[in-house]
Amino acid sequence: MPSPAALNYERTAKKARILGKTATDTRLRPMSREQIQVYYHAALAAFVAAWDAYIAEGRRQRAEGRRKTLTIIKF
């Protein structure tokens, strides 16, 4: 069973993937490069924030002695 941190990461990563897909959605044309860049930047920021939260939660759990290793996340 995945850890709560892994589940939170997966949920946030799914939202970030949606942002990335939106940037290339042909139904939203015409979009300027600046508008496309905003979607990609938001997706990257979401991935980084989710990963940072995942690592921080793992460290916190390890410090409390509740968990020795993080759940492996598949990309």
Give the DSSP letter string of 8-74. Answer: HHHHHHHHHHHHHHHHT-GGG-S--HHHHHHHHHHHHHHHHHHHHHHHHHHHHHHHHTS-SSPPP--
To which H or E segment does residue 5 belong?
helix 4-23
Confidence band, pLDDT 50/70/90 cuts, at residue 69: low
Give residue-wise pLDDT tens across range 33-61. 999 999 999 999 999 999 999 999 888 88
pLDDT over 60 at 14, yes or no: yes
57 or 1: whose pLDDT is higher? 57
